[in-house]
C-alpha cells in the first residue's frame, strides 16, 4: 500500500511525499505538489508492480535534467565530430539555464516540453534553433533510457510531435542581374583571399566549413578531384574540380601547416558580409552561394544523382531545397 505524507517544501509550501513498499520490489518514493498527483503516481506504480512490468524510476527521479545534460556533454558529445560538438556544447549551455533544468528527468512531461517551445517562440527564437534543441533533448532521454539504466523513463519530446515549431520554407536566394560582377569587384577590393573563396564556392558548391578545412594533401591534381574527409552528413566525398576551380588553386601560396586557406568559417562569413555591404547587395549570405552553385550544376545538364555526388546531399528532397532553377533559363531547353 502507498503511504501519503504532507510535508513542507521549498518556500514553506505544502508538498505530498509518497512511499510505496511491496514485497519483491525496491522501496519507491517521490514528492508531488498536490495529493491528486501523488495518488495518480502511486496508482500507476502499484498497477505496474501487480502486472509484473514495473521498472524502477528511482534513478530518473534522482537525476535532474541539468545533471543529465552535464553527463551527456561528458559522455556523448565528445564522440561527435568537432564542428557538431562545438554547436552542441552551446545548446547544452542554453538548456542548462532553463527553469526546467532543475527538474528531475522523471518529472518532465510532454506539456513541459510544449511550454518550453511556446516560451521560446514568444522570445523570438528561430524555429530551427528550437528544433535542434528538441533533437538534443530527445536523444538525451533516449540515451538515459537505453544506456544509463533508466528503463522506466519516457521521452516527453516524442509526445509533442504535432506541436513542434514549423520550419520556414527553404531559402531561394540566387545572384541576380549584375550582382555577381559587383560581388567579385568588391571582394577583390576587400582582399584576394575572400575573392578566391567566393569563386571557389560557386564552382564547387562546397559548404563554408568544408572550404575552411581544405588541405593540400587532399587534392589529387592529376585526377582533378578534392577529397572532403569530414562533411555535415558524416560521409566523405570527392569533389570534381572545374578548370576555373583548379585555376584558383594555382594562384594560392602553399602554407606550412598544410591548409589551403588558413581562415576560420566565421571569418569567411564576416568577410562576405563586408563584401556584400561594399557591393550594395542585400539579403545574400555565404551559404546562398551553395544554392547558386547547385542550381548551376543542373543548368549545365547534370542529372540529380550526378549533382548529389558533387554536393553531398543524401536525399533528393534535400537536393531540391538547394536547387532554384529560373524559368527563363529553362525556356531554351524546351525547344
Q: Which of 145, 237, 291, 322 is catalytic?
A: 322
Q: Which of 22, 232, 238, 321 is catalytic?
A: 232
Q: Which of 109, 274, 287, 314 is catalytic?
A: 287
Q: Is 7 considered catalytic here?
A: no
Q: Which of 91, 208, 290, 291 is catalytic?
A: 290
Q: Which of 145, 237, 296, 313 is catalytic?
A: 313
Q: Is 218 considered catalytic here?
A: no
The whole-angstrom separation of Cα 270 and Cα 295 is: 24
The whole-angstrom separation of Cα 143 and Cα 71 is: 11
Is 134:113 a contact under the CB 8 Å cutoff? yes
The whole-angstrom separation of Cα 287 and Cα 214 is: 17
Is 179:253 a contact under the CB 8 Å cutoff? no
* Distance, first Cα to last Cα, the chain: 83
Write down how long the chain is: 335
Q: Which of 57, 91, 207, 296 is catalytic?
A: 207
CA distances to 141, 142, 194, 326 from 185, rounded to whole Å, are 51, 51, 11, 25
For residue 298, give the nearest of 280, 279, 325 by alpha carbon. 325
Is 215:249 a contact under the CB 8 Å cutoff? no
Q: Is 290 considered catalytic here?
A: yes
Catalytic residues: 207, 232, 287, 290, 313, 322
Amino acid at each position: 500500500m502507498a503511504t501519503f505524507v504532507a510535508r513542507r517544501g521549498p518556500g514553506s509550501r505544502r508538498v505530498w511525499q509518497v512511499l510505496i513498499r511491496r514485497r519483491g520490489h525496491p522501496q519507491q518514493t517521490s514528492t508531488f505538489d498536490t495529493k491528486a498527483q501523488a495518488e495518480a503516481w502511486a496508482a500507476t506504480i502499484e498497477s505496474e508492480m501487480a502486472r509484473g512490468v514495473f521498472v524502477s524510476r528511482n534513478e530518473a527521479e534522482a537525476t535532474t535534467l541539468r545533471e543529465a545534460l552535464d553527463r551527456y556533454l561528458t559522455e556523448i558529445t565528445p564522440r561527435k565530430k568537432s564542428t557538431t560538438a562545438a554547436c552542441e556544447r552551446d545548446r547544452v549551455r542554453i538548456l542548462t539555464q532553463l527553469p526546467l533544468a532543475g527538474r528531475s528527468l522523471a518529472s518532465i512531461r510532454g506539456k513541459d516540453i510544449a511550454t518550453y517551445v511556446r516560451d521560446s517562440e514568444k522570445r523570438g527564437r528561430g524555429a530551427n534553433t528550437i528544433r535542434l534543441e528538441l533533437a538534443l533533448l530527445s536523444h538525451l532521454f533516449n540515451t538515459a533510457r537505453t544506456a544509463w539504466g533508466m528503463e522506466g523513463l519516457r521521452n516527453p519530446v516524442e509526445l509533442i510531435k504535432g506541436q513542434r515549431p514549423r520550419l520556414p520554407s527553404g531559402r531561394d536566394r540566387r545572384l541576380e542581374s549584375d550582382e555577381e560582377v559587383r560581388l567579385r569587384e568588391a571582394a577583390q577590393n576587400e582582399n584576394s583571399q575572400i575573392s578566391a573563396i567566393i569563386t571557389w564556392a560557386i564552382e564547387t558548391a562546397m559548404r563554408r566549413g568544408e572550404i575552411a578545412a581544405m588541405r593540400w594533401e587532399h587534392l589529387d591534381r592529376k585526377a582533378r578531384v578534392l577529397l572532403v574527409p569530414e562533411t555535415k552528413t558524416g560521409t566523405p566525398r570527392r569533389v570534381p574540380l572545374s578548370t576555373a576551380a583548379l585555376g584558383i588553386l594555382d594562384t594560392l601560396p602553399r602554407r606550412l601547416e598544410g591548409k589551403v586557406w588558413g581562415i576560420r568559417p566565421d571569418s569567411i562569413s564576416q568577410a562576405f558580409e563586408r563584401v556584400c555591404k561594399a557591393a550594395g547587395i542585400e539579403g545574400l549570405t555565404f551559404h546562398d552561394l551553395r544554392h547558386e552553385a547547385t542550381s548551376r550544376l543542373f543548368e549545365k545538364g547534370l542529372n540529380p544523382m550526378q549533382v548529389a555526388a558533387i554536393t553531398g546531399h543524401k536525399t533528393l528532397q534535400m537536393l531540391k531545397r538547394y536547387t532554384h532553377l529560373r524559368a527563363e533559363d529553362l525556356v531554351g531547353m524546351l525547344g
